[in-house]
Amino acid sequence: MRQTGVLSNSYIVPLSSKVIANMLGRLEAGALYELAQLWTKWHVTYPHLTKELKQNRVTQQEFAKEVWSEIEIMKTKKYAKRKLIDRIIAEYWTKGLNALQLAQIEIQGIVDRPSGYSWVSSVAKVISDGRPATEDSDDFIFSLSSQEFLENLIKSLSSLFLTHIYVSRHPKYPLIMIRIQVFEFTHLSLRRGNGRGGRPEIYSRKPYFLAIPMSSPHVIHSEGDDLVSNIVIQAVEMTLSSTQRQIKLVKSAEPPVRSLDTMHIFKGVSRFSNSLGSWAPYADGTVDLSPLADPVNHLSLNPSRLASSEDKENDDAYRVRKETAAVRFRGTLGKFESERMYEHVTPIKRKPIVLEGEDEDMDEAGRKTEYSSIAPVQFAEFSVRKREGTEKSATFKMFLMGNDIFAGMHELAVQGVVDIDRIPGWLTGAEGNTPGVIEDGAFKKKKRV
């Protein structure tokens, strides 16, 4: 067996039942049911025949149809996903799950729980005349064929490692999702209790994820600076390069974000990426007045809709702060008219079914509130520099950390802890997670390092 190449989809990865149960348990119930039924339709993921079924001459295809029907009954009756997990492990896939199934589980986990992973980004630059890539270099806009990209990426990585690569399209966003897992050989004879006579076996490294927005120069990927991570990035560069061009991925100086939704707004094709905070209505399309619209209730021609202590005697200070903060942090007093925060030609799919014990309004950080940001950011860094030649001067760095830092600032403004009339735009989320330098009150984007 060669130490380099491509690992087969059908290879059953040696994982304990407990590990598999934990992986399956992270999925939403509706997604788990759909995934299990999908496995009964592909030969490579057919349920495993027991010795008894083989003796009764039951074929894999017949057993797969039977399993599909049983799962459909469980889904119709809205059984808890724990019962399905037990059947998957003990009755349907008794030998374990193969490499393809594990890849699909983890990709689905990212879709179900987008805030469960930490993401960073790089921008693709075209290198010309052998000069190193800089911010001024031309961007390379992704417009990829999934199959062609997969084949070239496999070719680049398989010469170095035994790898398994899974590519799929995100069901909600125009993203190509790529899971890359590198395997290493070891000898089980080195381990205690080995009864396999030293037969070589493979063990996996932590999976590496790429999320490539279409028609964008950015690549969203796993955080990491180890050997495998660097080699994966180099392989992507080689895959994108050709005899006519050389592509270099320049890592962003922006801090990691624990939300794929947020990263897609920042780095994908979204009007909101450069229109956050009080600028959000411009991306939402509610600022410009249509010739056919009724101007009576439009904010630009009827500013009295904004609460003010001067023109509405019945409004107390709290309501003034609350509505002013809503405009400063979210750009609107109500909900956005846009059904989604990105550009895509496909229609919006219906919401997945919610089975027993699940709440569709919950995310991993808890229930969303009226202060929640459009694109939640967990970390931000700002450097405030002193004014030269002035008596009142200061130089300091500000670090903000939390599940949704600008939602926290929003709430503080409503409570009156922060002066909503004086808070600068970069503290309302207008610059997203871009690290910046504030000189004389003006925000300047920090250079990439």
The pLDDT tens digits of the residues spanning 344-363 come to 545 444 344 333 333 333 33
CA distances from 335 to 271, 281, 374 (A): 16, 10, 11
Residue 136, pLDDT above cutoff 80:
no
Distance (Å, whole) CA 206 – CA 182: 8
Helix spans in 77-205 (H): 81-87, 99-112, 146-158
Distance (Å, whole) CA 248 – CA 243: 14
Distance (Å, whole) CA 282 – CA 263: 20
β-pair type (218-222, 246-251):
unpaired
Distance (Å, whole) CA 167 – CA 13: 19
Helix (H, G, I), strand (E, B) or coil at 52: helix
Q: What is the pLDDT of residue 390?
A: 60
Q: How confident is the model at residue 150 (pLDDT cuts 50, 70, 90)?
A: confident
Distance (Å, whole) CA 80 – CA 115: 23
Residue 126's DSSP bridge partners are: 247
What is the DSSP annotation of 147-182? HHHHHHHHHHHHTTSEEEEEEEE-SSSSEEEEEEEE
For domain 271-357+369-445, give its CATH number from 1.20.120.160, 1.10.760.10, 3.90.1150.10, 3.10.20.720: 3.10.20.720
DSSP 90: I
Phi, psi of 107 (to 5 degrees): -65, -45
Q: What is the pTM of this model?
A: 0.67
Q: Is 43 left (phi over 0), alpha (psi -120 to 50) or beta?
A: alpha
* Sequence letter at residue 442: A
pLDDT in tens, 198-233: 444 777 788 999 988 877 888 899 988 888 888 889
Q: In what order do the strands lie in the sheet with 379-385?
A: 396-401, 379-385, 436-439, 442-445
Q: What is the pLDDT of residue 277?
A: 52
Distance (Å, whole) CA 177 – CA 220: 10
Q: What is the pLDDT of residue 396?
A: 80
Helix (H, G, I), strand (E, B) or coil at 232: helix
Distance (Å, whole) CA 170 – CA 177: 6
Q: Which two tokens stand for residue 308?
A: 């003010």
pLDDT in tens, 293-310: 555 555 555 555 554 434
Q: What is the pLDDT of residue 388?
A: 62
Residue 2, pLDDT above cutoff 80:
no
Q: Which two tokens stand for residue 389?
A: 């030649």
Distance (Å, whole) CA 403 – CA 99: 33
Q: How confident is the model at residue 67 (pLDDT cuts 50, 70, 90)?
A: very high
CA distances from 422 to 109, 115, 241 (A): 41, 32, 48
Q: Which two tokens stand for residue 119?
A: 């993401």
Q: What is the pLDDT of residue 29?
A: 92
Residue 408, pLDDT above cutoff 60:
yes
Sign of the CA dihedral running 303, 309, 313, 314: positive
Q: What is the pLDDT of residue 449?
A: 44
Distance (Å, whole) CA 296 – CA 288: 14
Give the contacts of 54 (CB within 8 A, at least 6 positions apart): none
Distance (Å, whole) CA 420 – CA 324: 7
The pLDDT mean for the chain works out to 76
* pLDDT over 90 percentage in the chain: 23
pLDDT in tens, 231-273: 889 988 888 887 778 888 888 888 888 888 888 877 776 655 5
**Residue extent(s) of CATH 3.10.20.720 domains in the chain:** 271-357+369-445
Higher pLDDT, 146 or 88: 88
Give the contacts of 141 (CB within 8 A, at least 6 positions apart): 215, 216, 217
Q: Which two tokens stand for residue 234?
A: 């180099």
